[in-house]
Homo-oligomer: A and B are copies of this chain.
């Protein structure tokens, strides 16, 4: 019985082989490895799946660190809660049933051996993937390196985690403002929200954030809507450089009407946990800075010995091949792709990425099936159909086939177009249901805590500012990485300088170890970078690091005697 079954299956396979082109054995099949699961990567895999047909003469592997594809145009709506948390993303497995998905971080790429090493599992076994064709579609990341205080304090806006983090941070600020009723300065900082970058991404975030915070504040008895300030910083002369001047100005008018303060020709210089510092030296007190700029290609791109432009993007030719490399393809935001008629380079938009994916998939299949009947290689050529950006609250701007549309009509078009562009009917239904419920129900206020406060993190402080004040609760220990600070105690009306601290030195351990409030104020004398260690993490470290524990104890006893001397009495 079992044997007969096998025979039948084999002959069926043979027939299929004869009909649809011989099904190759596993070892002979070429492997296309795609790195990145954004528009460029997912659509390349989708076009490859279509070309695969019944032949099965190659296999497709896609490596992405998340198991979902982010539909970027709707991500800002996650911030406001207009759509459900998972509505803006689609599980890649469902989109690509014939692709082998590896949800992993990429450790390294070896172009000579033609391998990609991935890792990040429950078990750190390295996993080496051999490839015949490599597709680099890693997109871009928001890159705060080299900007004072931004890596520590600015919130990026790229993926689902970022959108949730922004949302929760904003709710946290509202909750705190509802409790802190007396400290006017702190309330002002809590209720000021700053977004940097006036492109589509920044404008969509500021619009949704503004809608959300003003709507949500109504549920807070102790917040007056007039206290809320939402600021958009933009380096250019007007926002939305992607569209015509008329639409850009329209967007500015709408945002202003809704209460967004727009600061043009303004650049960020630095940020701390308490304020944003502009290049003209002005400061805006805020606890919330979202920054959509600057962006740079994925770090793994930097590690490859491939031609790149100044911005670090890979130089591809119009066939989407990386110049000078064999069987390495690059597309999407991490690549520079020339437009066919010499009209410059392809802009980093989803529409272009999708068209590039189609061409890349065709050309890859052509090279795999060379000599069989793969057809001719194609060059990339595409003129975009339009541009759209939502301004929240039933308004948008759009340019469709060059025709400018704005306001409610543009918003309806925006929703209709993006709803249909969402991959999969299930997702469309969910988003449509969410939109409907959003019209009927009040703003969602639930804060999903992500436990970020429990991590070791760097913090940046500007000269003259306090890290903490005498009498504050001791919830963390600080270790100075760079800069200097002084320890001041107020006692019987006098201010006494207890110590001056520099790199490698600790402070704040006394309150944490003794479970009391801070017994002194620490003020920066220079710009200060510290490693901030939350109480629980510090306790873990202290229990495991005997040498550090010894150092704490030494430091504490030294400080105690310094205090005694300074105060001229036993404390």
A residues with a Cβ closer than 8 A to B are 66-68, 84-86, 89-91, 93-94, 97, 100-104, 107, 118-127, 160-161, 164, 171-173, 175-176, 178-180, 183, 186, 190, 219-222, 273, 287, 426, 429-430, 433, 437, 440-442, 444-456, 458, 468, 471-476, 479-481, 503-504, 517, 530-531, 537, 540-541, 543-548, 551
In whole angstroms, what is the CA distance A119 to B473 when docked?
7
Partner of A176, one of B91, B122, B453: B122
Q: Which 9 A-B pairs have the closest CB atoms?
A: A91-B445, A531-B544, A103-B175, A124-B473, A479-B544, A426-B441, A504-B546, A86-B446, A119-B473
- A531-B543, A547-B547 provided; 4 other pairs, C-beta below 8 A? A94-B445, A103-B172, A450-B450, A456-B541
Chain A binding surface, main DSSP class? mixed
> Chain B: which residue is nearest A480 at the CB level?
B544
Which residues of chain B are near A546, meaning CB under 8 Å? 503-504
> Chain B: which residue is nearest A171 at the CB level?
B67
Partner of A547, one of B125, B127, B176, B548: B548
B102 touches A179 (CB 8 A): yes
Which residues of chain B are near A437, meaning CB under 8 Å? 429-430, 433
Looking at the assembled complex, report how far the CB atom of A546 sits from the nearest CB atom of chain B, in whole angstroms.
4
Looking at the assembled complex, report how far the CB atom of A454 sits from the nearest CB atom of chain B, in whole angstroms.
6
Which residues of chain B are near A541, meaning CB under 8 Å? 456, 531, 541
Looking at the assembled complex, report how far the CB atom of A36 sits from the nearest CB atom of chain B, in whole angstroms.
17
A123 touches B472 (CB 8 A): yes
Given A442-B426, A473-B119, A547-B548, the answer on whether A452 and B449 have CB atoms closer than 8 Å is no
Which residues of chain B are near A176, meaning CB under 8 Å? 103, 121-122
B537 touches A124 (CB 8 A): no
In whole angstroms, what is the CA distance A453 to B120 when docked?
10
Given A67-B175, A441-B430, the answer on whether A446 and B122 have CB atoms closer than 8 Å is no
Looking at the assembled complex, report how far the CB atom of A59 sits from the nearest CB atom of chain B, in whole angstroms.
11
> Chain B: which residue is nearest A445 at the CB level?
B91
A164 touches B430 (CB 8 A): no
Which residues of chain B are near A474, meaning CB under 8 Å? 124
Which residues of chain B are near A100, meaning CB under 8 Å? 221-222
Which residues of chain B are near A94, meaning CB under 8 Å? 219, 442, 445
Which residues of chain B are near A120, meaning CB under 8 Å? 453, 475
Which residues of chain B are near A161, meaning CB under 8 Å? 448-449, 451
Looking at the assembled complex, report how far the CB atom of A334 sits from the nearest CB atom of chain B, in whole angstroms.
22
Given A473-B107, A546-B504, the answer on whether A456 and B540 have CB atoms closer than 8 Å is yes
Looking at the assembled complex, report how far the CB atom of A175 sits from the nearest CB atom of chain B, in whole angstroms.
4
In whole angstroms, what is the CA distance A547 to B100 when docked?
46
Which residues of chain B are near A190, meaning CB under 8 Å? 122
Which residues of chain B are near A93, meaning CB under 8 Å? 219-220, 445
Given A442-B94, A455-B454, the answer on whether A179 and B127 have CB atoms closer than 8 Å is yes
Looking at the assembled complex, report how far the CB atom of A299 sits from the nearest CB atom of chain B, in whole angstroms.
13
Which residues of chain B are near A472, meaning CB under 8 Å? 123-126
